Amino acid sequence: MKCINCGTENNYKERLANSRHCKNCNHRFVFEPKLMYSAKFSDAFFEKLVTDISVNNTLKFTDKQLFYLFNKRLIKKRGNVTSDSIFLIFLTIILGTVGFLAYQETNDIFTSVICISMSLAIGIIATFQNNRKNQELLVTYEKFQDYLNSWKAVNSINGILTVTEQQNLPSSISSDITTYSFDRVVVCDNAEIANLLIANNFHFENNSAVLSIDGYPQNIFDTVMEMLRRNDNLKIYVLHSASPSGVSVVNTLSTNSDWFANNSNSNVTIYDLGLLPRQVFNNSNFFTQISEDYAREAQELPSDIKNDLTEKEIKWLEAGKYVELESFTPQRLLKVVSQGISKSRQTNIDNSSGLVDYGSPSSGDDFDSCDTTIFADDCFG
C-alpha cells in the first residue's frame, strides 16, 4: 500500500512493524484494509474521494456529499451486487448442482431438467434485480463520520462546509447595494444546499440571490427579500430533494405571504429545478432511502401539493421514500442549476425544451394578487 505523503510502498508486515507508519517518511496510515470487514479501502482511496469531489480543490462540498460519493465508489469497487442478489445467485448454484447430481446418480432426466431450468430462471431474476434495484448504502452516515474524523486527525482536508461557518457570506449588505434588486433567486429546500451554492460563488457568477426556504442566510435574509420584491418580473428557481418537504417548496413560495404571495406588484415565474419522485422511478443510480418521519409528513401533505403529483409519486412519498440532493456532487448540482437557468431563458418554453408547464393558478383562489406561473423539469440534470 502506497503512502499518500511520499508514495513509498509499504506491505502489510512493514505497516505492522512500524505501528501503521510509513517506513520512509513516518506518515501514519489511517485505514488498514487487512483489518476491515464490510468495507475495505485504503488511504489512497479516501484521498482520491476528496480530490474528485472538490475537482482538485476548486469546489467546496458538504460532508454528506462526500459520504454519498464514498458509498458509490465502494459499490463500484465491490461490483454493485446486493444482498438479495447474492442469495439468489447462491440458490442458483445449489439448484444447478442438485440437477446435475440427480442426472449423474439416477439418470433422472425430469428432475435434472426441472432443477437446472429453475436454476437458470433464478439466475436471470438475480441479474435483473441487481441491475434495476436502487443503490443501497454500504456504510451508514454515522460510521462514515468515524472514518472522516479518523482521517482529519492525521490529514488536513479542505473544502468541507458547515452551515454554522456561513462560508463567503457578508455580515451585512451595504446600503448602496440594497437600492437595487435581483433578476432571479434560487431557493433551496435546506440551508446546506444554499450554503453550498454560495460557497462556490454561484451567486456571483450567475448574478442571482440564493436563499433557503428555512431562512438562510439569516444575517441578510430579510434584506435580500426586500430587494427581491422590488423586481416586477422576478424569476424564481427552486432546488429541492425528492422528499415531502422538498416537493412542498414551490407551493410555499406561491401561497405564503412571507414569500411571494399577495404581492400585487409582482409577476412571478417559478421554475422547479428540483428532484421529483418521478425522476427516480426509472433510474437505478439514485440512493433511495426510507424514513418513517417522512412517511408521516407525506401522508399529511395538503391536497394542493398532491394535485401536482402523480398517484405513483404520492404512494412513493407515503412509503417514506426519499432521495437527497446531497447524493449529487457539487459539480453536478451547480451544472443542474446553471443549465436550468439557461433553459428558462428560451423565448418559448414548452415540453420540447424539457420544462413542463403546470399552468397558472385559476382565478378565485389564493393566487389572485400574484400572477404566478410554475414550470418543472421532468429530467433532473
Query: What SS3 class is residue 349?
Result: coil
- The dihedral through the CA atoms of 269, 273, 274, 279 has a sign that is positive
Q: End-to-end alpha-carbon separation of the chain, Å?
A: 37
> What's the chain's length in residues?
381
- 223 and 152 within one domain: no
87 alpha-carbon distance from chain centroid? 29
What pLDDT, on a 0 to 100 scale, did the predictor assign at position 360? 30
Q: On the CB side of 367, how many CA atoms lie within 13 Å of its CA? A: 18
What pLDDT, on a 0 to 100 scale, did the predictor assign at position 312? 95
**pLDDT category of residue 356 using cuts at 50, 70 and 90:** very low
What pLDDT, on a 0 to 100 scale, did the predictor assign at position 365? 31
Select the more confidently predicted residue: 59 or 366.
59
What pLDDT, on a 0 to 100 scale, did the predictor assign at position 371? 43
Query: What SS3 class is residue 272?
Result: strand
Select the more confidently predicted residue: 368 or 373.
373
What pLDDT, on a 0 to 100 scale, did the predictor assign at position 204? 85
Task: Report the C-alpha gap between 352 and 339 in whole angstroms.
Answer: 15
Q: Is the pLDDT of residue 326 over 80?
A: yes
- 220 and 145 within one domain: no
Q: Is the pLDDT of residue 89 over 60?
A: no
- 65 and 7 within one domain: no
Q: Which amino acid is at 5?
A: N
The mean pLDDT value for 307-331 works out to: 94
Q: Are the C-beta atoms of 280 and 323 separated by less than 8 Å?
A: yes
Domain with 249 in it: what CATH number?
3.40.1360
**pLDDT category of residue 329 using cuts at 50, 70 and 90:** very high
- 62 and 20 within one domain: no
C-alpha cell at 307: 394535485
Residue-wise pLDDT for 93-128, tens only, equals: 565 555 555 555 655 565 555 555 555 555 555 554
Q: How far is CA 101 from CA 110, 119, 366, in A?
A: 12, 14, 73
Task: Report the C-alpha gap between 122 and 130 in whole angstroms.
Answer: 12
What pLDDT, on a 0 to 100 scale, did the predictor assign at position 61? 96
What pLDDT, on a 0 to 100 scale, did the predictor assign at position 49? 95
What pLDDT, on a 0 to 100 scale, did the predictor assign at position 4? 95
Task: Report the C-alpha gap between 61 and 162 in whole angstroms.
Answer: 9
Other CB atoms within a 10 A radius of the CB of residue 371 amount to: 14
Other CB atoms within a 10 A radius of the CB of residue 307 amount to: 10
Q: Is the pLDDT of residue 46 over 90?
A: yes
- 226 and 369 within one domain: yes
Place of cell 463567503: 168
Task: Report the C-alpha gap between 141 and 63 in whole angstroms.
Answer: 10
C-alpha cell at 300: 399529511
Q: Is the pLDDT of residue 270 over 60?
A: yes
Question: Can you point out the beta strands (E) in 284-379?
Answer: 289-290, 321-322, 355-359, 373-377
Kindly report the backbone phi and psi dihedral angles of residue 26, in degrees, each rounded to the nearest multiple of 5, phi listed first: 70, 15
What pLDDT, on a 0 to 100 scale, did the predictor assign at position 87? 54
Residue-wise pLDDT for 230-263, tens only, equals: 887 889 999 999 999 999 999 999 888 888 876 5
Nearest partner of 268 among 233, 237, 239, 238, judged by Cα = 233
Place of cell 414550470: 375
- 250 and 110 within one domain: no
- 50 and 185 within one domain: no
β-partners of residue 187 are: 211, 238
The mean pLDDT value for 87-98 works out to: 54
How does the average pLDDT of the chain come out, rounded? 79
The mean pLDDT value for 189-204 works out to: 93
- 58 and 3 within one domain: no
**pLDDT category of residue 361 using cuts at 50, 70 and 90:** very low
Q: Is the pLDDT of residue 187 over 80?
A: yes
- 278 and 299 within one domain: yes
Q: Is the pLDDT of residue 211 over 50?
A: yes
The mean pLDDT value for 269-286 works out to: 85
* Number of domains present in the structure of the chain: 4
**pLDDT category of residue 203 using cuts at 50, 70 and 90:** confident
Q: Supply the range of the domain harboring residue 128.
A: 83-132
**pLDDT category of residue 226 using cuts at 50, 70 and 90:** confident
Q: Is the pLDDT of residue 36 over 60?
A: yes
Q: Is the pLDDT of residue 367 over 90?
A: no
What pLDDT, on a 0 to 100 scale, did the predictor assign at position 333? 92
- 226 and 102 within one domain: no
DSSP character for 35?
Answer: G
- 100 and 45 within one domain: no
Kind and range of the H or E element at 62? strand 61-62
- 293 and 249 within one domain: yes
C-alpha cell at 334: 451547480
Q: What is the pTM of this model?
A: 0.77
